[in-house]
Every structure is written in C-alpha cells, then in structure tokens.
A and B are shown apart, each in its own frame.
Chain A
C-alpha cells in the first residue's frame, strides 16, 4: 500500500451528510422566523459549521498532514483580515474621533474648547479714529492727491457696497493712475483686517459720505 491512508468509514460519511442536510433545513427555517439582529449571525454560524464539517470529514483534514490544516487556516485568516480591515474603513468613514484614547480624542476636545470660547470681537471704534489710524497716510479729505486718491465726495462716485469692497478687497478695482497691491499690503501690515470690527467699517463708510 503506497498510499496507506485512512479510509473514512461509510457510516461516518453518511452521518455527516445527514447532519449537513439537517443544518440546511434549520437555516432555512430560522431565516424565515424574524429574529431581529440575530438572523445574520445565526445563518453565518450555521454555514460556518457546515463548512467545517465538510472540511474536516469530507476533505479528510482530520486525518491529513497538519501542514494542510495550516494552509487552509492561513487562507481563511487572510480572507478575514481583508474583510475586517476593509469594513473598518467603509463602516467608519467620515466619522472622526471614534477612538477612546489617543490623539483623535485630544483633537476633538481641543475643538470643543475652541467652540466654547467666544470668538473675540474687536471693540467698536469711532470712524474718525479709524480714519486717523489707517487711512490718512494715503487718502486726504481735502482733494489733495496722495499715494491714493482723495476721499472727498466719495459717496457720489461709489455706492456704499462698492466702497466696502474697495476697503476689504482693494485690488478688484484700481482707479487708473494708482498702483495696485499697496493698500491691501499696508492695511494688512497695520492689522486693519483683524482689529477693526465690521460695525466700525460700516460706520466708517457712513462717515466718509459726510465728508
């Protein structure tokens, strides 16, 4: 006998077959009963037991060289790795801060702290003060041409919205004869955009209309 291998008795094979049929019937019946969340795990458990039975007895793993058991286990293990690490992404995608420990939690806490802290609002400043501090270097109120055009009668030439734009984003429209980029750079350097509140800018525009 070159292949003195274990011959599995017919009786064993028949019993296994009977159990497999029985499990099939059970899985059909249980699937038709509403068990809520238990349906899926139960069906998978039954399928898993059936597969194990086939592998151990029909495929004779029980009597086989152990290395083949190892081979099969590795294959199944890596299929499970593939499944679980992929699901770890697809199920949690877009959810931030789901870890119990570590950096994500710290980041979330930091974010919460930031949200509780009221955003500092710059105090209201009178338009004259604003003008003296930020504008007068370049824009006169008496018609003299400086680095920039004079602001006399500004509201006759531009509607308030347009003036606002010219302050907040000066380079969109540059009056011919003047250099662009200068105003925004200067205002940035003086901290105009961070230190002057919206209300102050509005009153500045209104005040300019009276000059």
Chain B
C-alpha cells in the first residue's frame, strides 16, 4: 500500500465506521451499494427465470409480484439514486474542486448511516412482514389496501430520502464555498457540474417524496382519506405527489452518469471537451426542466386533457439539452484521438444505450403513442435502457476510471474489456427483445403469459432470448467483481496519473490521495481538460514524488 495515504492513515473497523473523511465515506457507500446491487441483481435473475417460458415456471403470482416490487425498490432507491453521488461524488468531487473535504463532513457520515437505516428498514419489513406487491411506485389504492409491510417500505423510502437530501445539500455548499483558489465556475470539471445539478434536484424534490410517504403512511394507519378512493380520496393526487419527486429522480439517476461520461470523453479522447459551457449548463437545464414533466407518467391515469397536453409538450423540451450533450460528446471524440481503455468502452456503451433509451423516451412521451404503450414491456425496456444502460453503465465506467485513484492499484485490462463486451451483449439481448415484446402489446407485471401465446406465438422465443441475455449480463458483472477483487489484493500498483488526465485528483495528489487530499491547497490556473499543457503538469508531478 502507498505510504501516507488515506487508506493507511488509521486502521481498524472503528476508524472506518466513524470516519469523516469523504473518501472513506465514498467507500462505505461503495460496499453497501455493491451488496444491494447483488441483492437486486439476484431478484432480477429470478424474475427473468420465471419468464423463460409461458405458464408458471418457478414462482406463483404473489411471489412474482413481490420479486419485481423488491427488485424495483432496491435498485431504484438503494442502488441507482445513491450510487454515483454516494460513491464517486463523495470520493471525487471534493478533490476535483481542490477542497480538503466536503463542507459538512459529520453530516456526510450521518447521511450514510441514515441511508443504511433506510435500507435496514426495507429489508426488515420484507423479512418480518413480507409481501409487498404494489410495484415500486406504491400507487394507491394498491398501497392503501395492501399489507402492513407497505408501512415499512414507505418509512424506508422516507428515511433513505433524508440521506439523499443531506448529501445533495452538502455537495451544493461544497461547490459554492470550498473551491480552491483559481477554481472558477468555468473551470469546474463536468462531473462536478453534473453532481451539482443533481444535488439541486435532490434538495428540491426529495422532501416531496418525504411528505408523500408520510401521508401514505397516515392514510394506511389512520385512513385520512386523502389518497384512498374508498374514503373519498383521490388516487391520482397520489400520482402527482409521487411523480413530482420520482420524475426528477430519474435525473438524479442519469445526470451524474452524464457527468462521468463527459470526463471520460475528455480524458480518453485527449481533447478539450467540445461545448464545455453547453454541457455544463445543459445539466442545470435538465435539472430544472425535469421538474416540469412529471405528468407524462399519468396520461392514462385520468388526469385532465389539458394537463396531458402540457406535460407531453414539456417532455419534448428535455430532449434538447440531452441532445446537446450527446452531440458534444460525439464531437469530442471526432476531434480527439480515442484511447479505447475499459472506461472508454463503457462511455461508448453509455452513448449507444442511452441514446436508444432517450429516443424511446421521446416516443413514449408522445401522448398518443403512450396511450398504447403504457404498461407494456416497451416501457420496461425504455427505463432499463435509461437506468441501467445509462446510470449504471455510467457508474461502472466511472468506477473503472477512478479505481486506480481509489485503491492505488490497476485491474487487468483484458479482463475488463471482455467483461465490457459481455455486459453489452447481455444487456441488449435482455432488453432489446423487450422493446419488440412491448410494441406487440405484451403487458408488464404478469408472471404467466400463456394467454398471450394464441395471438403472439413469438412471445415464448423472445422471452427466452431476454432471459438468456440476462444470464450473460450477470456473467459479465460477476466477472467484473472477480477481477476487481483480484486487483484489490494482487493488482499492479498504479502511478498517480495512469490515464494522463488533467483534473486535480490526478494531477495534484499521490497515487492514493492523503487523508487531507493535498499536501498544499492547489492553485488552479487551467481548465479541467487542458491537454496541451498536460506534459508540464505531469512533469511537475513527478518532481513532487
């Protein structure tokens, strides 16, 4: 292990559980989220296994409903939403702006504990009470009429929400107040911009899911009659409350991934990221527009016709800043010299999968189309392309990119590339088939589709292909886990800047950062992707060490 690094600064479990070092907190998140991802992944495999053939194969209807509900809740609330901000935001953001830590380190640690408390509540609820089959959206009246386990899950979401709020709050203040001298707003790495935009959404949207869960909890406990139609309440009102948070939450999931991709595009194209200002501001634009489109989840829920039209049109607007980003990434590669290392493979994968996810998003955002595709596998495929193909692939790419900085070691590049190919093939086989299934009308959330076989005989073949794809995807992910563990113990020691990147975490820290990040506060004189000056930077860095 490298001398004097944050990893060796103090030892023992206690030094980790009580740490206020943002880097160690990032690793705490990484460990927890990896565990939840494993759980969510196993659930997904179980769901796909049930669907390999028509008819009841492994699970009954109730079990199946619980499986996909838990898969959704775990993946959305415990993996994707906290994923990039929790792990990489914590580890990288303060170093990238030249700060010694976040603005409120103790609050940062508290956020992790709150997040874990939320997770424990969810798992406890599942183990003790069991049986939540509402889907991850908890729509009333399913939820107001469901078992008491819903109370546990809603409390879990409420508690985990606070972790999200505090993390976002911490990052906003950190970016505003803790930047190193010379780190002006237009020198912030694009990852910082993305996390900053995400943090705004977290702070503004998450309280609403908090109060929604409180109201749902009271609805169930006291029958207050706000959402439950049996008591004169309005179930569609619940959907407004839910989506006011949950649609922006989609941007909590995707924006940080876009930030990672921007950094990867710059570093691995060895090129000033084209349209820096546009990418930075489009993150903020997406954050704000994201608040105005929640109603497009409710086209068929019985909201007013005018609302549907307004929400549909606002939804198209989101495509503009997203498109700006995609074009600029492509332009960066076009002008640069692309270095196809594993992180860059994931960046390209993101570009491909997210574009499909985004375009199909526009399709289902069209009022007239959505009425037909709503609640079919088309929608399932769409949001997996965005959430997994976008957010999770971004996270995996980012983890590969910053792995040497986090652990001080390199992973096996060949293994990395093979795993990336497996993930890509597996993912597309799993979810592209679902686009076809959905467009032909296969509804989501059924464990047994034998009734469909009369009108759609190809459903069996397509579902089998999709399930096989999910196994390939799982194999790729397991492979990543294996070579990551190998690298942790046996990997080659990394240099301070193995990728030749130009942001502060690579240029101004050792192979593994110190406990306080920098020997002395960096003085920033360049933009984050100033590659024509890279040689000077690396030269001076070698003198230091």
A→B interface (CB under 8 Å):
67, 74-75, 78, 81-82, 85-86, 88-99, 102-104
Contacts of B204 on A, CB cut-off 8 Å? 74-75, 78
Q: Are B309 and A90 in contact (CB under 8 A)?
A: no
In Å, the complex CA distance between A86 and B237 comes to 8
In Å, the complex CA distance between A171 and B292 comes to 53
Q: Are B305 and A86 in contact (CB under 8 A)?
A: no
Q: Are A93 and B303 in contact (CB under 8 A)?
A: yes
Contacts of A94 on B, CB cut-off 8 Å? 304
In Å, the complex CA distance between A96 and B204 comes to 32
For A89, give its contact among B176, B208, B240 (CB under 8 Å): B240
A-B contact count (CB 8 A): 59
Contacts of A96 on B, CB cut-off 8 Å? 305
Q: Are B236 and A89 in contact (CB under 8 A)?
A: yes
In Å, the complex CA distance between A128 and B310 comes to 58
CB interface residues, B 229-258, toward A, < 8 Å = 234, 236-237, 240, 244
**Contact of B291 with A by CB under 8 A:** yes
Q: Are A88 and B306 in contact (CB under 8 A)?
A: yes
**Nearest CB to that of A91 among chain B residues?**
B304
For A92, give its contact among B236, B240, B304 (CB under 8 Å): B304
In Å, the complex CA distance between A22 and B303 comes to 43
**Nearest CB to that of A103 among chain B residues?**
B309
Tell me the smallest distance from the CB of B133 to a CB of chain A, in Å: 27
Contacts of B522 on A, CB cut-off 8 Å? none
Contacts of B208 on A, CB cut-off 8 Å? 82
Tell me the smallest distance from the CB of B196 to a CB of chain A, in Å: 13
Contacts of A85 on B, CB cut-off 8 Å? 240, 292, 294-295, 307, 310
In Å, the complex CA distance between A10 and B305 comes to 55
Tell me the smallest distance from the CB of A97 to a CB of chain B, in Å: 8
Q: Are A90 and B234 in contact (CB under 8 A)?
A: yes
Contacts of B200 on A, CB cut-off 8 Å? 74
Contacts of B291 on A, CB cut-off 8 Å? 78, 81
**Nearest CB to that of A74 among chain B residues?**
B204
Contact with A along B508-538 (1 / 0, CB 8 A): 0000000000000000000000000000000
Q: Are B306 and A98 in contact (CB under 8 A)?
A: yes
Listed from nearest, the 9 A-B pairs whose CB atoms lie closest are A92-B304, A89-B307, A93-B304, A89-B303, A86-B240, A89-B304, A78-B204, A96-B305, A92-B306
In Å, the complex CA distance between A98 and B237 comes to 21
Contacts of B237 on A, CB cut-off 8 Å? 86, 90
Contacts of B303 on A, CB cut-off 8 Å? 89, 93
Contacts of B12 on A, CB cut-off 8 Å? none
Please name 15 further chain A to chain B contacts, defined as beta carbons within 8 Å, in addition to the given A98-B305, A103-B309, sorted by A numbering: A67-B176, A74-B204, A78-B291, A81-B292, A82-B208, A85-B240, A85-B295, A86-B240, A89-B295, A89-B298, A89-B303, A89-B307, A90-B236, A90-B237, A98-B306
Tell me the smallest distance from the CB of B391 to a CB of chain A, in Å: 23
**Contact of B302 with A by CB under 8 A:** yes
Contacts of B236 on A, CB cut-off 8 Å? 89-90, 93
Given the contacts A92-B307, A98-B306, A104-B309, A82 and B244 also touching, CB distance less than 8 Å: yes
Tell me the smallest distance from the CB of A107 to a CB of chain B, in Å: 9
Tell me the smallest distance from the CB of B318 to a CB of chain A, in Å: 15
In Å, the complex CA distance between A99 and B200 comes to 33
In Å, the complex CA distance between A92 and B309 comes to 12
In Å, the complex CA distance between A121 and B125 comes to 64
In Å, the complex CA distance between A143 and B458 comes to 49
In Å, the complex CA distance between A107 and B527 comes to 55
**Nearest CB to that of A82 among chain B residues?**
B244
Q: Are A88 and B240 in contact (CB under 8 A)?
A: no
Contacts of B240 on A, CB cut-off 8 Å? 85-86, 89
Given the contacts A78-B291, A82-B208, A82-B244, A104 and B305 also touching, CB distance less than 8 Å: yes
In Å, the complex CA distance between A86 and B176 comes to 32
In Å, the complex CA distance between A98 and B308 comes to 12
For A88, give its contact among B298, B302, B310 (CB under 8 Å): B310
